Amino acid sequence: MNPRSARDLVLGPVVLSATANVIMELSWPGVGHGVAESRVDSGNVMLHPLHRFRTTNAYLAVALLGTDAERADYRRAVGRSHAHVHATADSPVDYDAFDPELQRWVALCLYRAFEDTWGLLAGEPGLRLPDAVYRECAVLGTTLQVRPEQWPADRAAFDDAWDDGLAHVRIDDAVRAYFHRLLRGDFLPDPVRRATEPTRTFLTTGFLHEPFRALLGLEWSAADQERFAAWMRRLGTVVHRLPAPVRRAPYSTALADLRVRRTLGLALV
């Protein structure tokens, strides 16, 4: 089962891949240290998890469901935050949040989240999306600083770009410690964290691609993979029966919130 357009990929269960996706994104040193050292406290998931949840979901929603004008406004809003995210004299690696190569890697990881989730919900793990749908997903990067010509031309070119990206993966002690805080759910209230930890760890490990599981010492067996795929397939039978606004939540609600904020002149990020 293939989607008709990139808009069809916007399904609520994509949010289940969020922690895995962040780990893959931040495994590039420039991205990892940019987040771990960020001086923009409002975007720090450890300090303001709800704010981070809203703004990340709003970005994904506006990229795939929004208008050109909404994407332009969100680009400017994110740019004001990113202006403060750059290496200092004490940073172990050089980075700048406006670096289009770093942003392209993040966008490639985001594409994986949407493609992986679609395939799992459809009962076809590892499904490769059609080139036409894949090309529409360039907005995951071009909504920020990635230029259209930087997006791999087709789905086969994506595989080459992904493999090249994996060659740049490095997880040092500082970023590894940050990852384990994410895996533990340190940003959650203690009762919620303890109650959800087994499920969160299982889902995150399931959505991670290699070599990330191995680099973090996360065990995953063939039986685990079968259970994960079956769980997602059952979820898919429910999700695809829901009305569009419901099956797209929380992305649909994030886009609605963004539109209210634009109308009222409130901060988007």
| Structural domain total, the chain | 1
- Give the pLDDT of residue 22: 96
In a domain, residue 83? The reply is yes
Give the separation between CA 125 and CA 225, rounded to whole angstroms. Answer: 10
* DSSP, residue by residue, 57-103: HHHHHHHHHS-HHHHHHHHHHHHHHHTT-B--TT-SS--BTT-HHHH
- What's 142's DSSP letter? H
In a domain, residue 23? The reply is yes
- Give the pLDDT of residue 116: 98
User: Mean pLDDT of residues grouped by 10 in the chain (269 residues)?
Assistant: 95 97 95 79 80 95 98 94 82 86 97 98 97 98 96 98 96 90 93 95 96 95 98 97 96 97 95
Q: How many CB atoms lie within 10 A of CB 210?
A: 9
In a domain, residue 218? The reply is yes
CA distance between the termini of the chain: 35
In a domain, residue 269? The reply is no
- Give the pLDDT of residue 43: 66
Give the separation between CA 261 and CA 269, rounded to whole angstroms. Answer: 10
Residue 21, token pair as written in the block: 């996706």
- Give the pLDDT of residue 109: 98
In a domain, residue 1? The reply is no
In a domain, residue 15? The reply is yes
Give the separation between CA 231 and CA 103, rounded to whole angstroms. Answer: 32
The parent domain of residue 109 ranges over: 6-264
Mention every residue, 6+ apart, whose C-beta is less than 8 A from residue 16: 117, 203, 207
Give the separation between CA 103 and CA 91, rounded to whole angstroms. Answer: 19
In a domain, residue 177? The reply is yes
Distance of CA 248 to the CA centre of its chain: 15
Residues paired with 96 in a beta bridge: 86
Give the separation between CA 137 and CA 155, rounded to whole angstroms. Answer: 11
169: left (phi > 0), else alpha (psi -120 to 50), else beta?
Answer: beta
In a domain, residue 82? The reply is yes
